[in-house]
Amino acid sequence: MSEDSIPLLQEFPGLSAKEVAMQQQVHGYNRGGKSPNQALELIIDIFKEPMIILLLVACSIYFVLSEWSEAFTMLGAILFVAGISLFQDYRSQRAVKALQQITMTKAKVVRNNALIEIPSDEIVVGDTAVIGEGDLIPADMQMLTDFDLAVNEALLTGESTDVVKQRGDLLYQGTMALRGYAYARVSAIGTKTRLAAIEHSLGTVRQAETPLQAQVRKFVRLMVIAGSLAFLLVWGYKSWETGSIIHGLLHGLTMAMSVIPEEIPVAMTTFLALGAYRLLKIHIIARQPQSVETLGSATVICVDKTGTLTKNLMQVARTWDAETSKITDFNAHPEYSPVLEYAMWSSERSPFDPMETSIHQWYSTLAQNDERTGATMLKDFPLAGSPPVMTHLFDLPDRGIITAIKGGLETVLKRSNVSATIEAEAWAVSRKFASQGFRVLGVGKGIWNQDQLPEKPEEMTFTFLGIIAFSDPPETHIPGVIQSFHEAGVQVKMITGDYLETAQSVASTVGIPHLVTLTGLQLQSMNDQSLSEAVQKTSVFARIYPEAKLRIVQALRAVGEVVAMTGDGVNDAPALKAADIGVAMGKRGTEVAKGAAGLVLSDDDLAHMVDAIYLGRRIHANLKKAIRYIISIHIPIISLIVLNQFIPFLPETLFSPVHVIFLELIMGPTCSIIYENEPTSKQELKQPTRQRRNASLLQGKPLTITILQGLLITLACVIAGYWADQKGYHETLQRT
């Protein structure tokens, strides 16, 4: 974010500490509202559960029959089950609150004539906020300045086109600043914002289901239908057999409770919650719980080069002067040149980007006359174009108005007066630098003699000065990380905006195969079908513009791959959102990227993703085991309830609702705890857990084994019942 900070801070001094406290008393904090009846709504939801309804009916019948011990036992079971649900919700709310604190966005505000950064929930009405590229707007506010701010308001309008804002325009909470910057006065916070009003009118939007969640929901719904039919059949038959509708109803309830696998959704929620906790311990924040399960299915991970594979410590390494054809090695003999100077003028005045920081450092070291102090920035054209460039206009006391451009070599050459010979030499030098792993930028200069400042950067023509190249070595542990991904059966694909030669050099160093590559220019000429075929064989994508990342992710998903995508910038957000697993960088990632992702790497270390994928596979495998266990236990319960009508040595009333609920209260928590901690075989961990949304929960060999296990348990119970009958034991002891 560029800013001529001193004049702006003098013009907008911001609130004092006393004024902030006063505004907080009047308007409160910048937080979303909660339903006043939230607890009541939760209790109502709990008592809508099929199992709770069955328990209530059974409890009522026992009270009517004056069977007090059973009645109070059932009442205790109801309170116990409801209490567990309430406790789980309380724990979930605490976890969500803790997660919100971890992922809390920051807001830049001016207070007491100083620019400070605060948690976004502490911003107050009347605050002077500073909004820059990549920021999520923290509250509703009105523009005070106009510095080419463009905002994406798709969250509110559904339109993805950039909206250019001017002085006096409104900025809305939750929208995204794409480029430029602005000072704005906060007008509404919390429940008074436009976003809060929309959320209130629409209610909560249900999150998309993972394949396993869809399979579980489908299976449980089927069992509820089966349980309802079984209830009606048994109720009718037993009422006719015993001549008592009430006793027939108890038998029907027993059958229904044995059929409905209420423990499965509970187990799944428990597994995902514990999985999110385990991810947090390895520095990964799960913003969307379903991402925990999806992790195990990942078959491809798309990664950026800079900062993900490399150290993101960009340092000036070389310059090439187009006029003299001289290459300067900054690691050996650094020298001042116009290329370095105008690279500085086209950088941020207070740089935060490592490349621009290095440029300013070398300029400070090598320039005999530092002209930055007396310079006044007149116009700041933020990073834009394909490939993007940055353009600035400065008024220098002794030189008039100068213009400077820095960025993608193609765009800089296109906007410069340059001969064919110089252009050919520039491309040759660019390829040479790129093959050495350097990041390459073109640099140009100009003079502005007109009275009116340009409205668009395309209005200016430049003199091409040369090339500046930066070194950014790969992280030392990344080759091992790439190898670990390959061993886990996950393909690694590099997607970068750098030149192909640079990408290939880094790929060779870290161990990414690059026999087949694809550039942004080649991608533009492909239709969706051709791209879908190409992405399967390609491991290195170079000179890729932001909009092309989305096409790559969509093409990979179209051919059946489960895609994890890393990103940190504003323009990465669409691809992060489209991926099965979006992974944002916690340290250098923009709030927009974090908002679009399901996972956040809090320390930006890609190595944690290997552990996360293995954890996802373990969770998936153990959850399937827990589900198989639950089903295999339900089979003998159902079978024995049916068989005792036909086998004379079994007790006439083998199970009552009290017995069934007792078994399920033990079964649910124990299987969740035991199976969640169970180690998984190396073979299971090495293979992605491919899932289809429309597939059955259990099929093939696992289904056969589960049924056989249930039938064996049934047989063992029948044999035990026969033995107890031969011994002449009482019905109660036989049941035990």
Domains of the chain are 5-34+106-202 (2.70.150.10), 234-274+614-735 (1.20.1110.10), 284-310+475-604 (3.40.50.1000), 316-371+400-451+461-466 (3.40.1110.10)
Q: Which of 619, 615, 618, 580 is nearest to 598 (CA)?
A: 580
> 163 forms bridges with which residues in the sheet?
151
Return d(Cα 475, Cα 250) in angstroms, integer. Answer: 67
pLDDT at position 158, please? 52
Q: Residues with Cβ < 8 Å from 66, sequence gap 6 or more?
A: none
Low-confidence residues of the chain, pLDDT below 70?
A: 1-10, 32-42, 46, 49-51, 81, 84-85, 87-104, 154-162, 198-213, 289, 570, 591-592, 645, 651-654, 656-657, 665, 667-669, 680-699, 731-732, 734-736
How do residues 216-228 score in pLDDT, each as one tens digit? 777 777 877 887 8
pLDDT at position 206, please? 46
Return d(Cα 480, Cα 161) in angstroms, integer. Answer: 41
Q: Residues with Cβ < 8 Å from 159, sequence gap 6 or more?
A: 153
**pTM higher than 0.75:** no
CB 431 within 8 A of CB 504: no
Return d(Cα 88, Cα 242) in angstroms, integer. Answer: 42
Cα angle value 148/149/152 (rounded, 5°): 140
- In terms of Cβ atoms closer than 10 Å to its own Cβ (0-12, 13-18, 19+), residue 62 is buried
Return d(Cα 102, Cα 337) in angstroms, integer. Answer: 45
Handedness of CA 729, 730, 732, 734 (dihedral sign): positive
Angle between the 50-64 and 245-259 helix axes, to the nearest 10 degrees?
Answer: 150
Q: Residues with Cβ < 8 Å from 549, sequence gap 6 or more?
A: 302, 495, 565, 567, 571, 572, 574, 575
Mean pLDDT of the chain: 82
pLDDT at position 327, please? 95
